[in-house]
Amino acid sequence: MRRQRAPHVLIIVQNLPVPLDRRVWLECQALKAAGYEVSVICPKGPGDPAYAELDGVHLYKYAPPRQAEGALGFAWEFAYCWVRTAWLSLKVRRRARFDVIQACNPPDTYWALALPWKAAGVRFVFDHHDLNPEVYRSRFGEPTGLVGKLQLAVLEWLERRTFRTADRVISTNTSYQDIAVRRGGVPRGHTTVVRSGPDTTKMRPVHTDATARRGGEHLVAYLGIMGPQDGVDGVLEAADRIVHEHGRTDFRFVLLGFGDCLEDLKRQSTELGLDDYVEFTGRVGPEQITRYLSAASIGLSPDPLSPLNDVSTMNKTMEYMAYALPVVAYRLTETVVSGGDCAVYVEPGDSAGLADAVVALADDPARRGELGAAGRRRAEQVLDWRPQAEAYISVYDGLTGFESAGPFPGGPPATGGDSTDQWGNPLVDLTDDGALRAFASARMMAPGAEPAPSAS
């Protein structure tokens, strides 16, 4: 009997390098484990080579363009990345024929690359990460002038073309799925919800030392991209109220990540007199994320209400929960879907209420213990990547007819047996509900660790 050839999937990403894009890297790993061949085209991160093979995934990378400014700048960025991606797709094809192209937006331009490949028998999967018309409305409001209306119309046309070109659409939540069906005309049977759930076997709390708190009693964390629509300035406004109005100099704040607004945020911190209390880490990897989110008392999801944010799933909320970190968030539709009853919600736009909720939660260790433990259990039982990976692979198995081994051919990922993580941090005992609540309440340091020196 002739052995079935493993299909080759080419994934296109413009927004972030891989494996920094956690969702895409999890998808790559799921495909690889299921028996597929996987290649990725994406921009380079700092120090990245033009080609590398990582864990069996072939990574093809191009130098990213300069940061775009204005409509012409974004048009140039999209055109530059499109051309570099198209050229690299030929390079991938010379190495090995691919059967499926998966494009992850933004932007909604890669349907035009998929079309000629579809003529050659390649299938097209759209992994719907963002709503570009809503991004426009969230940044600039509903346009009233001719130029603005034209720009929005172009974005809506590109989105329609992407939906109509796709053989299958993967949606990050049911709100996005409804848009694919209602606005994109995609048959519901051709859409599948694959949430960006955390891999809770790897994203889990540890006992760490107190250095991340920099002498404070409570560390408040923000993890994510720092763009105009992300509301990170609200973290600094909350910090200003907590430190200068509440007089709480026992708080420290850490902003993990990068984005277009990072330098503006640093200037804002200085202007507010917060530099002794706020740390900007820049780009971080799994080790730093584990250390900071295990040491923090509260995770913030300050995303403001907007047409985009209300229906978008915020990865940081789920990641806080994976680390048993209590969450304070604005009450947005999909944020509540993720957090359920495991977060403290504040009405959107109430920046004073956000700060007050942080202080109240910091001063209530029992409540922190309940929320943190419940959040971890929800991350394990509802949000975890495992069922998402199974749904994701089912899309490819159905599309290609490949009889894959599934994303976990060896059975469920191991969840016990180790006493430390890969960096030597003692793991929190997740099998004991009492121990988990105690950790979430106190964020206990590693046994025998020296406390950080007090702030001067």
Q: Which CATH architecture has domain 8-200+384-400?
A: 3-Layer(aba) Sandwich (3.40)
pTM assigned to the model: 0.86
Question: Quick check: 452 pLDDT over 50?
Answer: no
> Is omega for the bond preceding 19 within 30 degrees of 0, making it cis?
yes
Q: Tokens 């973290």 appear where?
A: 235
Question: Quick check: 49 pLDDT over 50?
Answer: yes
CA atoms of 88 and 42, how far apart (whole Å): 10
Higher pLDDT, 453 or 302: 302
pLDDT for the residue 224? 93
The amino acid that residue 309 corresponds to is N
CA atoms of 42 and 99, how far apart (whole Å): 18
Query: What percent of the chain shows pLDDT beyond 90?
Result: 80
| Residue 123, token pair as written in the block | 């299938």
Question: Quick check: 302 pLDDT over 70?
Answer: yes
Question: Quick check: 71 pLDDT over 80?
Answer: no
**β-strands 218-223, 298-301: how paired?**
parallel
The amino acid that residue 43 corresponds to is P
Local confidence band at 72 (pLDDT 50, 70, 90 cut-offs): confident
Q: Tokens 């409001």 appear where?
A: 141
| Gyration radius of the chain's alpha carbons | 22
Closest alpha carbon to 203 in 353, 374, 14, 427: 427
Are 171 and 180 contacting, i.e. CB atoms less than 8 angstroms apart? yes
**Domain extents for the chain?**
8-200+384-400, 210-381
Question: Quick check: 449 pLDDT over 90?
Answer: no
Query: What percent of the chain shows pLDDT beyond 70?
Result: 94
| Residue 85, token pair as written in the block | 């991606």
- Work out the average pLDDT over 330-340: 96
Poorest-confidence range of 71-85, 154-168, 441-455?
A: 441-455
Are 360 and 90 contacting, i.e. CB atoms less than 8 angstroms apart? no
pLDDT for the residue 68? 66
DSSP H or E segment with residue 254: strand 251-256
| Residue 345, token pair as written in the block | 């919600």
Reported as a single tens digit per residue, the pLDDT across 359-406 is 999 999 999 999 999 999 999 999 999 999 999 999 999 999 999 999
Which fold does the domain 210-381 belong to in CATH? Rossmann fold (3.40.50)
Give the start-end residues of each E strand in 260-393.
Answer: 278-282, 298-301, 327-330, 343-346
CA atoms of 66 and 446, how far apart (whole Å): 43
pLDDT for the residue 415? 58
pLDDT for the residue 453? 42
Q: Which residues pair with 328 in a beta bridge?
A: 300, 344
- Using alpha carbons, list the distances in angstroms from residue 41 to 44, 110, 212: 9, 12, 35
Higher pLDDT, 380 or 210: 380
What is the distance of C-alpha 346 from the center of its chain? 22
Poorest-confidence range of 249-263, 368-382, 423-437?
A: 423-437
- Work out the average pLDDT over 125-140: 93
- Specify burial of residue 2 (Cβ count, 10 A radius: 0-12, 13-18, 19+): exposed
Evaluate the CA torsion angle 310, 138, 25, 91 in order and state its sign.
positive
Backbone angles phi, psi at 11, to 5 degrees: -105, 130
CA atoms of 85 and 63, how far apart (whole Å): 11
pLDDT for the residue 451? 41
pLDDT for the residue 444? 65
Local confidence band at 418 (pLDDT 50, 70, 90 cut-offs): confident
Question: Quick check: 163 pLDDT over 50?
Answer: yes
For residue 420, the 8-state DSSP code is B
CA atoms of 114 and 110, how far apart (whole Å): 6
Task: Return all residues near 315 (Cβ < 8 A) that are at least 6 apart.
Answer: 22, 23, 196, 198, 224
pLDDT for the residue 5? 83
Question: Quick check: 454 pLDDT over 60?
Answer: no
Computed over every residue of the chain, the mean pLDDT equals 92
Provide the 10 A C-beta neighbour count for residue 14: 24
Closest alpha carbon to 294 in 420, 196, 431, 454: 420
What are 336-340's contacts with CB under 8 Å, separation 24+?
Answer: 337/173, 337/174, 337/313, 338/313, 338/314, 338/383, 339/375, 339/378, 340/378, 340/382
Question: Quick check: 44 pLDDT over 80?
Answer: yes
Evaluate the CA torsion angle 36, 4, 115, 393 in order and state its sign.
negative
Question: Quick check: 265 pLDDT over 90?
Answer: yes
